[in-house]
Structure 1
Amino acid sequence: MELDKNIEKLLEKYFEATTTVAEEATLRDYFAQEHVATHLEQYRPMFNYFSSAKEERYTKQVPLKPRKKLDYRWISAAAAVVLAFGIYFGADSYQSYHEQKQAEYAYQETKKALSLLAENFGKGTEKMAYLQEFEVAKAKVFNEN
């Protein structure tokens, strides 16, 4: 009975993760024996599993392949060639890209200017309608006199 109460206290400490290694060994030994209190029987498979899992070993052979050595001289030479290629052809590409952006900017500014001109031209044609009425009225006046 005294042992069961001690084991219960050790179980509480075990689940709170405050037991020492010696106390855990006591728990393993208790659950490894034949006589275990019936209310503690539920913990037996857990401690028996830990004991049996400790004994398991991996017995298969793992084939190890030797690593291939990289020849860094060829890699560095290839990187230098790619870098030179990028510098040589990149300047032309950048120049054409820059010119394209300038042309795009000029196109957008011209488009703004023409839309402003069209807007003001539209205002001017509205005034021409009044001028047309004036011409009709003037024609009536001069034709009747």
Structure 2
Amino acid sequence: MELDKIENILEKYFQGETTIAEENQLKEYFSSSNVAQHLEQYKPVFGYFSQVKQQKSTQELENLTLTGETIPLKTKKRNLVWLSIAASVVVLLGIGTFFFAGEENNTTAVASQSELGTYDDPEEALAATQKALALLSNKVNVGIESVQYINEYEQSKNKIFKQ
């Protein structure tokens, strides 16, 4: 009679329809030594729970000291300390690089400012100014040519879509 009851509960278990009390009955049955021969194959499934329970209880025993107090587990505070040290080093390197690069740019800017506008000969200054304006004019003309392509595109689009 009990074997039929266990088989019915087992069938309900695999269909996911058991209650907690029925699952406890299965755990008790499969943890006992008198399991039916044809149900031996299910013993590891329900034996797992008792093994985990035993492992947990042995770990708790290992954590006890002679006085009966528990030993605190190691926290990850040490990793946090190393992480904060690494972050500080990165910030300091960033600040140092910023100031070092800033000083280098300041020295080159001072040197280039001293070279600007130092023509003694007016004809030489006129030639340099004309050269700079010709370069600027050339670049502006290239930009204007690009705008002309856009105008042609707009005209073609208007012809196709007839606004």
Common fold: TM-score over 0.5:
no
With the length of structure 1 as denominator, give the TM-score of the two structures.
0.45
When Rg is computed on C-alpha atoms for both structures, the one with the higher figure is: 1
Structure with greater contact order relative to length (CA < 8 Å, sep ≥ 6): 1
